[in-house]
Amino acid sequence: MFTGIISDVGRVRAVEQVGDTRFEFNVHFDMADVDIGASIACCGTCLTVIEKGADWFAAEASQETLSKTTLGSWQIDTPVNFERPLKAADELGGHLVSGHVDGVGNIVAIEPEGDSIRYTFEPPQELMKFIAAKGSIAVNGVSLTVNEVDDTTFGVNIIPHTQSETTFGTAKINDPVNLEIDMLARYVARLLEKD
């Protein structure tokens, strides 16, 4: 379980196509207290540490993961948001995020708005019913508040701190993004379907 508060931005340092796809990532946090088998959210996708060094770790992604996330397009030097899992005593600064990506959307607009930047995203149409104004959503693993929603898009404001501390600092129009809808919205929709 994660909170959508990014603790590091690193880069892909190696990609190897074997049975599954093996990724190696450079990180800035200390890997000494990260166990083999631990989970790390990589742009919102929960991956398992299978090997590590002082400033890097390796993880594998199945074909299913590659087909449902942006990981299939990652190559050497791709920037990646990282978040270590939530501990029971940690502050819940964002919202509860599972690390299970619901779909891939695209950035369709980036516009300055005061000191912030307004990003507009186009998600897969089947996810639109789960996205609500003032609700939460994780975009590339970042916990964000939805500002507005229309029939096909939603918008968020990214403050300067988030812009500089995540991959949003290098994001461009048409970039694909991993989306995880709010867990509560998913369960409410499921309950309503049963009635």
- Of 30, 53, 83, the domain-final residue: 83
How far is residue 139's CA from residue 178's CA, in Å, rounded to a whole number?
A: 6
Same domain for 168 and 109, yes or no, is yes
Q: Report residue 109 CA to chain centroid gap.
A: 19
> In the chain, which residue ranges form alpha helices assigned H by DSSP?
63-68, 160-165, 183-194
pLDDT of 195: 56
Residue 63: CB atoms within 10 Å: 11
Nearest to 118 by CA among 129, 128, 107: 107
Nearest to 140 by CA among 185, 186, 94, 184: 94
Per the structure, how many domains does the chain have? 2
pLDDT of 91: 72
pLDDT of 187: 72
**Confidence grade of residue 15 (pLDDT, cut at 50, 70, 90):** very high
Q: Which residues contact 184 (CB under 8 A, 6 or more apart)?
A: none
Same domain for 67 and 110, yes or no, is no
The strand order across the sheet containing 39-42 reads 45-48, 39-42, 79-83, 8-17, 21-26, 56-61, 51-53
pLDDT of 8: 96
Three-state DSSP at 108 gives: strand
Q: Which residues contact 70 (CB under 8 A, 6 or more apart)?
A: 43, 104, 140, 176, 177, 178
Three-state DSSP at 126 gives: helix
Q: Which residues contact 56 (CB under 8 A, 6 or more apart)?
A: 13, 24, 25, 26, 27, 31
**pLDDT for 113-140, tens place per residue?**
999 999 999 999 999 999 999 999 999 9
Is 19 within the bounds of a domain?
yes
How far is residue 152's CA from residue 146's CA, in Å, rounded to a whole number?
A: 14
Is 123 within the bounds of a domain?
yes
Tell me the Cα Rg of the chain.
16
Is 2 within the bounds of a domain?
no
**pLDDT for 18-51, tens place per residue?**
889 999 999 999 999 999 999 999 999 999 999 9
Range of the domain at 133: 103-194
| Token code pair at residue 114 | 């005061």
Same domain for 71 and 112, yes or no, is no
Same domain for 113 and 33, yes or no, is no
Is 148 within the bounds of a domain?
yes
